Chains A and B, each alone.
Chain A
Amino acid sequence: MRVALVIRRPAWFPCAQSVIDDVFFPVRTHGVRHSRYSILAVAGMVALAACTPHDGTNEFNDPYEARNRAVHDFNKDVDRGIVRPLASGYGRAVPGPLREGIGNFAGNLSLPGKMANSLLQLRPGDAVENGVRFLVNTTIGIGGLFDPATRMGAPEVETDFGETLHVWGFPEGAYVELPFLGPSTERDTVGLIVDMALDPLGSALGPDERWIGRGTSVGAGLNKRFTYSGTIDEVLYDSADSYAQLRIGYLQKRRHELGRDAMPDYFDPYDDPYATPYADAYATPLEATDAQ
């Protein structure tokens, strides 16, 4: 209730601190860790207010390109030297069903944080779906190792604090590539920090359990790197400009996620202004090549 009131206020920057304190940290069990993150988060939010608004689907705003490219080269070295060999070893050594179980387990632990974000976005239906999922998979799915909830019609609703900021009306900000973490935007970077601080389940667990959570999410990440190695390798190592490919890929995917089912502003190549001199693609010179 209090959350809803805060969000509806038009001038809500002064409220940012109280939103963070009241909603995310009602119980200060790990005061030091939390307050450090909350200061970072608020600093990030203030920085976001200065971001230029941006709505285009295929456009990008990349004022930090030079620095981003340096980080990109670093990330590629990390992938080549550490992540890719590790993922390949993990994928070959650990049998598929076990990797899947570890991925399910890590995904299950992330659900309480997603529920909190859905509530902050005033999407109670999403929160309930992930809540049902969490209950079903934790019990019937044996602590989250199995995923019966998807078969029962409650697939995971993907969300995070970056989306919450989007719902609250914050602009995307500039594109950034983060060391180790990869492509992001200014808004999603703030979201990432808040999500780390938010982690309601992590706060409820003891330090040992938290390490299990982190270990399994590393496993889940390695499994993703292994499963999608074809596409990831192609983007990183086979494209002419891997930085530009990753940037356009990330931004399109992210905007698509945030837009939910909204009809995007599709580009019509048949009306392409660059193509006017050759308006008829089927004119004589191309006819021969088109014939199958």
Chain B
Amino acid sequence: MRSDATRRHFLMSGLAAGAALTVAPPARALTTPEATALIDQVVADINAVINSGRSEARMLQEFERIFVRYSDVPIIARSALGVAARSASPAQLSAFTTAFRGYISRKYGRRFREFIGGSLKVEQARPYKNFHEVKTTAYLRGEAPIEVIFLVSDRSGRDLFFNVFIEGVNMLASERTEIGAMLDQRQGDLDRLIADLQRAG
């Protein structure tokens, strides 16, 4: 829990960092306030959507947009593909990333649906190796609060989250399992997987 004054400070430094990012080279290390600022923004956007009272279909579109805007989709896609990424051609990898982006944002957009009517709150951030862990709590109606953790990195050149943990269950590990199983079902045929992924999720 943080006071409003500190929250403003985080937001301000986040804004300052955002401004600096446009001129500074990406080699500079991500700081905890910057990681917090990104997730503050993500959380603000999600809260705006889940309390907007829009139709569910419309909310799903908004969630997709949030996902694409604030997460590092290429790294999530490559990690989900795992070993198969090694033998894929650059064109296949590129097509896979595009297909995966739609699939993952539809799927996790739907998962955020459970938060409708509730709210998300940023709790604390701490550095871990060369990225940051930002803890948030989802307060849902009639349910015990749920812990949602975002991992944030600037290794892409921008501050983006690359993994989400909902009550300890993480997206990268689940998607690696899922994409691996889908690939097995298609006898390792990556092109078929890409085609099917465009409809999945």
Contacts and interface: CB of A to CB of B under 8 A. Distances in A.
Contacts of B156: 281-282
A230 B181 CA distance: 21
Contacts of A81: none
B75 A274 contact: no
Interface string B157-181: 1000011010111101110011001
A278 B133 contact: no
Contacts, number: 132
B25 to A, nearest CB: 14
Interface stretch (B9-17, B35-43, B90-98): B90-98
A249 interface: yes
Given A282-B157, A289-B101, A230 B85 contact: no
Contact of A290 (B73, B126, B167): B73
B78 A275 contact: yes
Interface in A149-200: 150, 155-156, 158
B177 A286 contact: no
Interface residues of A, number: 48
Contact of A286 (B74, B111, B178): B74
Contacts of B157: 282
Given A252-B168, A281-B74, 7 more contacts: A150-B144, A230-B110, A234-B111, A256-B169, A257-B168, A289-B74, A289-B98
Interface of B: 68-69, 72-76, 78-79, 82-83, 85-86, 90-91, 93-94, 97-98, 101, 107, 110-111, 113-114, 126, 128-131, 133, 142-145, 151, 153, 155-157, 162-163, 165, 167-170, 172-174, 177-178, 181-182, 184-185
Interface of A: 58, 96, 100, 103, 150, 155-156, 158, 227-228, 230-231, 234, 239-241, 244-245, 248-249, 252-257, 263-264, 266-270, 272, 274-275, 277-278, 281-286, 288-290, 292
